[in-house]
Amino acid sequence: MFDVSKSILQKLELNALNTQSIELFVKRDDLIDEHVSGNKWRKLKYNIEQAKTLKKNGILTFGGAFSNHLVATAAACQKAGLKAIGIVRGDELNKDSNDTLRHCADFGMELHFVSRLDYAARNEKSYHEELNFEFPNYLIVPEGGANYYGMIGCQEMLKETPNDFDYIFVAQGTTTTSCGLALALPEQSTLMVVPVLKGFDSLAEMKLLFAYTGFESSMIQEVLDKVEILGEYHFGGYGKYDEALLDFLEHQFQETNLPLDPIYTGKVLYALQDWVVKNKIQKKRILFVHTGGVQGGKMIEKKEGRHFC
Ligand SMILES: Cc1ncc(COP(=O)(O)O)c(C=O)c1O
C-alpha cells in the first residue's frame, strides 16, 4: 500500500564526527508517506493485513490529542478501504481542537472523546469487551501500535539495510519500534535506544511488550543483551526540549538538510553525536533510524520561530 523503497539509506556527514572516522548512515523512513511516515507504516502494515484477513470492518485504536499514530491509522485505513475509530484522551476536545484531530476526521476516522479516567483503562480486557460491544467487528490496536503486528512490521526496517553496522540508534516511546529492531538485529550490532520519556524503565518496558506478545523469557533476555539504553537524552521528558537542542537541530539542518523534530529523532541524533564524541568512538559504522515525526517538528518550528525541518 505504501512504497517502502522510498525509505533510502543516506550517508550523513556531521562535521563534529569528522575526526572520529565514523561512517554514519540514516534510514529515511520519514520519506515513506506524508501522513503514514516513519515507523507508523511499519507498525500498521500487519495490523491492516490482519484486519482484512479477519474480515473486520476496520481498526479501532487510541491516542492523545496530538497522536501521529491516530492520523496514520486514519490515513492508512482510508487507503485500505477499512473504517477507523479513534478513542481520544480528553472529553473536553472535539475534532476541530487541532490539526491532528482535523486530519483524522478528514481521513474519515470516527472520533470518540473520553475522559482521562476512561482512557486509563485503554489496555484493560473489560474495556475492550465494552468497545467490542459498542463497535462490533473492529480490530483493537493498542495506543502507538504497540502489539505483535506492530513489532514484526518494525523488524522489516533492518531487513532493508546492510547487516554490518556496529551501532543502530533509534528513538523510544511505546518500545514497539525498538523491540522490533532488537528482534531483527544483525549479529555484530548493538541497538542504541534513546527513550524520550523521563524516568522510563526502558528494559522493563521492552520485557513487558515481549512478554505480552508471547515471547519466552529466555529469548527475551538474549535479545535484550544486545540493547543499550541512553537514558539521559530525554531533555526533561515527552514533548520537552531546550534551546541547546533547538540550536543543535538548526545547525545540523544547515549542515545536512535532514529534517528532524525535537520530540523524537532530534533527541536521537543529539544523543548519537554526544555519545560518539564523549566515548571517543572511532572507525565504526553507525545507522540512525529516522522514524518520522517531521509534521510534529514543523508545528514546533512555527511556534519557536526556528528552522530545522
Ligand atoms: C516519530 C517517532 N519516532 C519514534 C517513536 C517511538 O516509537 P515507539 O513508540 O515504537 O517506541 C514514535 C512514536 O510512535 C514517533 O512518533
pLDDT tens per residue across span 215-232? 999 999 999 999 999 999
Asked if residue 272 belongs to a domain, the reply is yes
- 290 and 173 co-located in one domain: yes
The reply to whether 232 and 267 lie within a common domain is yes
> Mean pLDDT over residues 88-92, rounded?
97
User: Do residue 77 and residue 161 come from a single domain?
Assistant: no
Quote the domain boundaries for residue 265. Answer: 4-37+147-304
Query: From ligand 1's centre to the CA of 58, what distance in Å?
Result: 23
Cα(29)–Cα(52) distance, rounded to whole angstroms? 24
3-state secondary structure of 109: coil
Q: What is the CATH number of the domain that holds 12?
A: 3.40.50.1100
Give residue 54's pLDDT band: very low, low, confident or very high (50, 70, 90): very high
299 and 175 housed in the same domain: yes
**Structural domain includes residue 49:** no
In a domain, 45, yes or no: no
Look over the chain and give the mean of its residue pLDDT values, rounded to a whole number. 96
Beta strand segments in 90-149, E? 110-114, 138-141
Dump pLDDT digits (tens) for 92-112: 999 999 989 999 999 999 999
CA of 277 to the centre of ligand 1 (A): 25
Q: With pLDDT > 70 as the criterion, what percentage of the chain qualifies?
A: 100
Asked whether the predicted pLDDT for residue 301 surpasses 90, the reply is: yes
121 alpha-carbon distance from chain centroid: 22
If asked whether residues 184 and 277 sit together in one domain, one would say: yes
- Cβ-based burial of 43 (10 A; exposed 0-12, middle 13-18, buried ≥19): buried
Domain count, the chain: 2
pLDDT value of position 275: 98
Shared domain for 165 and 17, answered yes or no, is yes
Q: What mean pLDDT do residues 180-198 have?
A: 97
End of a domain among 136, 165, 198?
Answer: 136
Q: Is residue 142 part of a domain?
A: no
Specify whether 291 is located in the same domain as 243: yes
pLDDT at 295 over 90: no
Residue 42 belongs to some domain of the structure: no
Strands 227-229, 190-195: pairing kind? parallel
Q: What is the pLDDT of residues 149-179, one digit of tens each?
A: 999 999 999 999 999 999 999 999 999 999 9
Task: Give the Å distances, CA to CA, from 26 to 156, 186, 201, 277.
Answer: 15, 17, 26, 18
Q: Is there a single domain that holds both residue 151 and residue 250?
A: yes
Q: How far is the CA of 182 from the centre of ligand 1 (A)?
A: 15
Shared domain for 90 and 222, answered yes or no, is no
Boundary-marking domain end, from 77, 104, 136: 136
Residue among 29, 177, 298, 309 to mutate when testing ligand 1 (max atoms within 8 A of CB)? 177
Mark 258-277 as b/e (b = at least 16 C-beta within 10 Å).
Answer: bbbbbbbbbbbbbbbbebbe
Domain termination residue (choose one: 108, 136, 164): 136
Rounded to an integer, the average pLDDT of 7-11 is 98
pLDDT tens, residue by residue, 55-81: 999 999 999 998 999 999 999 999 999
- Structure letter (DSSP) for residue 141: E
Query: What is the rounded CA–CA span in Å between residue 211 and residue 191?
Result: 19
- On whether both 272 and 239 belong to a single domain, the answer is yes
Share of the chain above pLDDT 90, in %: 96
Residue 64 confidence (pLDDT): 95
Strands 23-28 and 9-11, by their bridges, are antiparallel
Whether residue 184 is contained in a domain is answered as yes
Using CB distances shorter than 6 Å, the residues near ligand 1 are: 38-39, 68-69, 144, 171-178, 264, 291-293
Per-residue pLDDT, 307: 97
Supply the residue whose CA is at minimum distance from atom 13 of ligand 1. Answer: 173
Q: What is the DSSP letter of 49?
A: H
* Structural domain contains residue 205: yes
pLDDT at 302 over 90: yes
Q: Are residues 108 and 169 in the same domain?
A: no
Q: Is residue 48 part of a domain?
A: no
Mutation to probe ligand 1, out of 47, 291, 309 (largest number of atoms < 8 A from CB): 291
3-state helix, strand, coil in the chain (%, to 5): 45, 15, 35
> 183 and 125 in one domain?
no
